[in-house]
Amino acid sequence: MSKVIANMSMSLDGFIADPADGIDRLFGWMGSGDVEVPTAVEWATFRMSPASAEYMRTSMESVGALITGRHLFDITQGWGGTHPLGVPIVVVTHREAPADWPHTETFTFTGGVEEAVEAATKAAGDKDVVVASAKIAQQCLDAGLLDAVHIDLVPVLLGSGVRWFENLGKSPVQFGDPTVIEGNGVTHLAYEVTKRA
Amino acid sequence: MSKVIANMSMSLDGFIADPADGIDRLFGWMGSGDVEVPTAVEWATFRMSPASAEYMRTSMESVGALITGRHLFDITQGWGGTHPLGVPIVVVTHREAPADWPHTETFTFTGGVEEAVEAATKAAGDKDVVVASAKIAQQCLDAGLLDAVHIDLVPVLLGSGVRWFENLGKSPVQFGDPTVIEGNGVTHLAYEVTKRA
């Protein structure tokens, strides 16, 4: 059964980026080990601890589509047309899709989270949909569309930045106890939603 | 070697109390199992999962003094004179100590965190000092007085409330990977500070 999963690297004080959108301190675990984890693109190969590598490989195999925001799409320039996960991408945006964007087979642009989840679920088949955007994850939570939250918890207090769970409209949201995988510079915590507000 | 440890139960979105100072959803794990953990007072006996009970017993044995804020002291009415941990208590406050407070042997009232840590460390001997206050933990972090942060991470998004790490003056603060203990309704994460800003 396909699940909709929000996944981010987060600091102990709840930030998923620093005030300048920087993520260096939160993504160090992706290069903190010796085990190579290739991706769908040549420019991104991770080198992780054995535990994180196993976790990442399993996660990558189970993902069938990715939902992201326009902001991330823009700052990564659409990952050059191929996301490291190598799956169809749904970009939530209120603006027009880039006029000259050629990768129309793998990229879909939609205006709302409901449509995005619908499109991504269809594209994912029996695999999972991953939501890689703080804002969209919040909207999915509020809309009752999220099944799980996977936190890559990084042992740092950033003090300021962009919070993952900043503007929840409906709370509390209750989860079960997590599956825990201990990496190097990260603790992977996989929570499933058990009760919505 | 005595350590200064901040310890709180925290939601996934970083809150240690709801907007009305409520902690019910964050302290459920203390009654979520069958293993009795007695404390120094009759009115507080925990019933925890085996893992949390073992963690709690070990923690309680290693604590030699507790630092708290005046707010918690006031709303608990000074725990009736004996804190469940049964250790000397240092209350950080800018107000006078209560005039009729009889428990002067176990309670100390000080005006600043440096003095509080000094007094608590002296009282703790070779045991650890626990800081049980969000605000004082922040001040200790900023003053470089904290050795470790023990997070009892509760699988809930509260959406609003009192944040543990709200006003850090000096950041980032880097920790090592945590010791992880998986309880019932909680994940105990013990982090040691490795690098201060």
What integer pLDDT is reported at residue A73 of this predicted model? Answer: 94
Under the banding of pLDDT at 50, 70 and 90, the label for residue A22 is confident
Report cis status (omega within 30 of 0) of the bond before A172: yes
Could you give the CA distance from residue A132 to residue A22 in angstroms, rounded to a whole number? 15
Confidence class of residue A23 from pLDDT cuts 50, 70 and 90? confident
**Cα B83 to Cα B60: distance, rounded to the nearest angstrom:** 12
Give residue B195's pLDDT: 84
The kind and range of the H/E element at B138 are helix B134-142
- Cross-strand bridge partners of residue A151: A8, A189
Q: Is residue A89 scored above 80 in pLDDT?
A: yes
Quick one: average pLDDT of B23-45? 94
A191 touching chain B per CB within 8 A: yes
On average, the pLDDT of chain B sits at 95
B24 touches chain A (CB under 8 A): no
Q: What is the DSSP letter of A98?
A: P
- Cβ atoms B49, B35 nearer than 8 A: yes
Query: How many C-beta atoms surround the C-beta of residue A177 within 10 A?
Result: 20
B15-17/B156-157 β-pairing: unpaired
Question: pLDDT at position A193, please?
Answer: 95
| Residue in A closest to B15 by C-alpha | A13
What is the predicted pLDDT for the residue at B196?
Answer: 75
Specify the amino acid at residue A128: D
Identify residue B88 by its one-letter amino acid code: P
Which residue of A175, A177, A191 is the best one to mutate when testing the B interface, meaning the one whose CB has the most B CBs within 10 A?
A: A177
Q: Is the N-terminal amide bond of A38 cis, ω within 30° of 0? A: no
Give burial (CB, 10 Å; 0-12/13-18/19+) of A161: buried
Regarding an ipTM greater than 0.90, the answer is: yes
pLDDT on residue B157:
96
DSSP code of residue A115: H
From chain A, the residues in CB contact with B197 under 8 A are 159
Average pLDDT over residues A42-51: 95
| pLDDT at residue B104 greater than cutoff 80 | yes
H/E element holding A114? helix A113-124
What are the structural domains, with CATH classification, of chain B? 4-195 (3.40.430.10)
Q: Is omega for the bond preceding A84 within 30 degrees of 0, making it cis?
A: no
H-helix or E-strand containing B52? helix B50-62
CB within 8 Å: A157 and B180 = no
* Tokens at A35, concatenated: 């085990």
Q: Tell me which chain A residues have a C-beta less than 8 angstroms from the C-beta of B14.
A: 13-14
A163: nearest Cα among B163, B153, B9: B163
Mean pLDDT of B160-179: 94
- Report yes or no: B26 and B9 within 8 Å, Cβ to Cβ: yes
Question: How many cross-chain Cβ pairs, A to B, lie less than 8 Å apart?
Answer: 102
- Residue B21: band (very low, low, confident or very high) from pLDDT cuts 50, 70, 90: confident
